[in-house]
Every structure is written in C-alpha cells, then in structure tokens.
Chain A
Amino acid sequence: MQVPAPFDYARAESVEDALSLLQRHGPESRVIAGGHSLLPMMKLRLARPEWLIDINDLFELDYLVEDGGTVRIGALTRHATLLASDLIARLFPIVTDAEKVIADPIVRNRGTIGGSLCQADPAEDLSTVCEVLRAEVVIRGLDGERVLTMPEMHRGPYETAVAQDELLTEIRFPVLPRSGSAYEKVERRVGDWAIAAAGASITLSPEGTITHAAIGLTSVGLDGRTATRAEERLLGQRPADELFDAAAAIAAEDCNPVADQRGPVDYKRHLAAELTRRVLRRATERAAGEEG
C-alpha cells in the first residue's frame, strides 16, 4: 500500500485564507489542487510537505471568461472544463487539441490548469500550449499581485517563479484576430505523457502573409519550450509547405532530446520535425478559416 508520509491538512476558504495558511505554516506547506501530480509524488516520497492547503473550495478560481481582447482562466479550472468549452475551441483550438490527449477523462476531471503550470514537468502539455499562446499568468501573494509572461514564470524543469507562499490565480490568453493554432502529440499509449509533442499558433495579415508565429515543443529538451529561430523563419512569408519544412527542420535542430525508454534521440528529433510541420499546416488552415 503506497501512502504519503504523514502531514497536516487544512482547507482554504478563500484566496486570502490560502495565502495566510501558506504563510502561517511556512516553507514545508504546499497547496493541493487536483492532486494528480502532487499525490503520486508524495506516495513516491519525491515530495514530502508537512502541510497541505486544499484549494478545491476556491470556486473564485474556477472560471473562464472572455474579457475584451483577453480570455481569462482561473487557476482551478479543470482539464475537463477546458476540453468542454466552446469558447476555447473557437478561439484557441490548440487547447482543445491538447486537452484531448492529456491523461484520460477521469484524470481530467481532477487536474487543473494551475496545477499543470506550477508542476512545470517538461512533459506538461499545457505549459507548451501557454507558451505558444503567449499567455500571461497572475501570481498572488499577501502583498499583492504580479503578472508574468510564461518564460518569466517557468524557470526550468519543476521550477517556477511562484513562491512557496504565493498562488497562481489566473492565466490570460490574448485573442489575436486572423489566428489559428494546433497541437499534436505522439505517446506510447492512450493517456501517456508525450514522447514528443508540438504546438503552433499562426496569425495572417489580410494579404495572407504570416505576421505572427509561435512554435512550442514538449518533452524534447527545448530550452524555454519555444523554437524562436523557427518562428523567425516564418515571419513576413506566405504559408507554403516548403516554408513549413524549413521551419520544422530548424525546430528539430534546436531541440535537445534525451534517449530514454520512450525512444532514441533520432526518433524524437524526427517526431519534433514532423509534428511541427503538421501543426503549422493545421494552425494556418485554421487562421485562414479553411477548417470549420
């Protein structure tokens, strides 16, 4: 029987309450959201907090609203809610694509977007998605709020800018007109983490040239998760298969996969290129409104 080491438990009643509990109980206290990353780690003794602050009653952190040119998502929004949202499917199909392949429907009932970003596992699909969408995150402490970009939030594998006594409260996606996005992942079996995955977002000018491009890769050791050189290759160009081939080759060159039980380096690099090519094509079709 695998159970976590002993700890104390408190249930927060509001964001303020969660923040004071985190401060009161000090460095060995952690929040628990869906618990679907934290509890498995605690069973394996990879994490051993002395206090868990449960934030599942904070309905104030469970929302999804369009607000001017931004979609604001509460940190406690579950994977299942994101997958079911028509607003998300219309504006950010990359999120819907990714949610379909994150774990399985039962895990998606519990796991949250905030937990995914704070876990910052290199294989975390939503981290790549948020990078590609140039998301901003809102982090709250007892002294107030700060807004960070994803590169500022993600300091490295399993390491974020969210301090022990702070909460990630909101994720913001800017809405870009004439844009399309897509995500594709290869896994060993349904519900598994990515061997490799790619996401892209493309914005077209009225004349049909690419005015903004974002490419992100999951699980292949890309520094900062976005393929900057490949993005630059696309700017100002007209979408074309040869152009996407070139960008995909650059992205594959710039990533740094490691060989493990999921496959050798060559295979992962091959996947990075092929998946980049595919998501660029699909994101462009969606930006041009060619896909329903």
Chain B
Amino acid sequence: MQITLTVNGTEVTAECEPRTLLVHFVRDTLRLTGTHWGCDTSNCGTCVLLMDGEPVKSCTVLAAMAAGREIRTVEGLAQNGTLDPVQQGFMAEHGLQCGFCTPGMMMTARALLDRNPDPDETEIRSAISGQICRCTGYSTIVRSVQWAAKNQEGAQA
C-alpha cells in the first residue's frame, strides 16, 4: 500500500506492507536510522518518536496508522544547523554513554518540554519511566533535561 505522512516537516509518500511497523518504516524505507529499535515488545522505549507531538513506541504502531499524521524523529530535532536545547543538554550533562537509548530519551524530553517548560525531577523521571537505559543510571539524563529546560531560550537564539 502507499502511505503519505509528514516526517520532520516534509511530506513523504512511500510504499509499505500493511504489516510494516512504523519503526521499520522510518529506519529501512526512509533511512532515518536515528530511531533505534531494541526489545520489540513495547517495553524498552528506544523506538520512541513523536506522532502528532506525542511520544509513541514506534515498534507498536503500524506505519499505515501513521498515514496522514506528523512524525518527528531525532533527525528532526536540530533546526537550521543548530542543535535543539535537548541535544545540547545531553552533551553538556553527559546524558549518554553508549547512546542506544538516547534518541528515544531526547524525543520524550522534547515532548515534555513542549507541554511543560519547567518540569521538576519527578515529572522528568515519570516521563521517561517507559524507557530503559542500561548505561547511565538516569541521573545524568534527568540533569540533561533540566539543562535543556534552563537553556530553552538561550540555546534557540
């Protein structure tokens, strides 16, 4: 079947099978391999991307279900060559080690900050509670999101 959707601000039309999962569609068909794919059982959250602005586990959404919707992946975070404050935060506060969970974590952080520009630690921990990081122990991830919250305007200018 043919589907049309908006990915990182650009409309794309592509062929896929009805059973194609959104995570495979963005990685294999669109070649946007920043979205990672881990457990395949809706548990780990490495496949998180934004659909109409909300984080979703893209291993549990059909590509067909995303037709007509707006998808944002980690490739769509930086704007005009400037890294998103969330990306800068992960650099500044060392929010990653191996980087496997990082794209998903950053997308959730982006959606959280869009809704709530000044989240407290509990809110951040709750937002990422469906995502697993096997390396950092979460503290630096939380600090990265806090950094991004503090530097929203500064970083965007």
Q: Check A39 against B55 for contact (C-beta < 8 Å).
A: no
Q: How far is the CA of A105 from the CA of B43 in the complex (A)?
A: 12
**Contact: A40 with B129, CB < 8 Å?**
no
Contact yes or no, B65 A40, CB < 8 A: no
Q: Which of A3-11, A90-98, A146-154, A227-235 contacts B (4 or more CB under 8 A)?
A: A3-11
| Partner pick for A110 among B56, B64, B108, B131, CB 8 A cutoff | B56
CB within 8 A of B127: which of A54, A103, A105, A191?
A105
Partner of A107, one of B42, B62, B127: B42
Tell me whether B61 and A9 are in contact (CB under 8 A): no
Tell yes or no: A35 within 8 A of B by CB: yes
- What A residues does B48 contact at CB under 8 A? 106
Specify which chain B residues have a CB less than 8 angstroms from the CB of A1 in the assembled complex: 24, 40
Report how far A80 CA is from B41 CA in the complex, Å.
20
Q: Given A9-B18, A191-B129, A191-B130, check contact A43 B62 (CB 8 Å).
A: no
For residue B21, CB closer than 8 A to chain A, the reply is yes
Q: Does A205 contact B (CB under 8 A)?
A: no
Does B54 count as interface, using CB distance less than 8 angstroms? Answer: yes
A178 within 8 A of B: no
CB-CB under 8 A from A105, the residues of chain B are 55, 126-127, 129-130
Q: Are the CB atoms of A110 and B18 closer together than 8 Å? A: no
Q: Does B89 contact A (CB under 8 A)?
A: no
* The residue from B42, B56, B64, B131 contacting A54, defined by CB atoms under 8 A apart: B64
| Chain B, 60-98, CB within 8 A of any chain A CB | 60-62, 64-65, 67
Q: Which of A3, A5, A8, A109 contacts B55 (CB 8 A)?
A: A109
Asked whether, in the complex, the Cβ of A52 is within 8 Å of the Cβ of B18, the reply is yes
Least distance between A269 CB and chain B CB atoms (Å): 28
Task: Tell me if B24 and A8 are in contact (CB < 8 A).
Answer: no
Contacts of B127 in A (CB 8 A): 105
B93 to chain A minimum Cβ distance, whole angstroms, is 22
Question: Closest Cβ of chain B: how far from A65's Cβ, in Å?
Answer: 23
In this assembly, does B157 line the interface, its C-beta being within 8 Å of a C-beta of chain A? Answer: no
Does A134 touch B at the CB level, under 8 Å? no
Give the tally of cross-chain contacts (CB within 8 A).
Answer: 80
Q: How large is the interface on A (under 10, 10 to 19, 20 to 34, 35 or more residues)?
A: 20 to 34
* B121 part of interface (Cβ distance < 8 Å): no
Question: Which residue, of B17, B24, B42, has the highest number of chain A Cβ atoms within 10 A?
Answer: B42
Chain B 21-56 interface mask (CB, 8 Å, partner A; 1/0): 100100000000000000011110100100000111
Q: Once the chains bind, are B24 and A3 in contact (CB under 8 Å)?
A: yes
B24 to chain A, nearest CB (A): 7
Whether the Cβ atoms of A106 and B57 lie closer than 8 Å is yes
B12 to chain A, nearest CB (A): 18
Using known A-B contacts A105-B127, A109-B54, determine if residue A39 contacts B62 with beta carbons closer than 8 Å. Answer: yes
* Contact indicator B18/A104 (Cβ below 8 Å): no
Q: If A105-B126, A105-B129, A109-B54 touch, does A40 touch B19 (CB 8 Å cutoff)?
A: no
Contacts of A261 in B (CB 8 A): none
Which of A6, A106, A107 is close to B19, meaning CB atoms less than 8 Å apart? A6
Q: A35–B19 contact, CB under 8 A? A: no
Residues of A within 8 A of B55 (CB): 105-106, 109
**Whole-angstrom distance between the alpha carbons of A145 and B41 in the complex?**
36
Tell me whether A160 is interfacial, beta carbon within 8 Å. Answer: no
Other than the known A39-B42, A105-B55, A110-B61, what 13 A-B pairs have Cβ atoms closer than 8 Å? A9-B18, A11-B64, A35-B60, A35-B61, A39-B21, A40-B60, A80-B54, A104-B130, A105-B129, A106-B57, A107-B60, A110-B60, A190-B129
Q: List 9 A-B contacts (CB under 8 A).
A: A1-B40, A2-B41, A3-B21, A35-B61, A39-B60, A43-B41, A54-B62, A106-B57, A110-B57
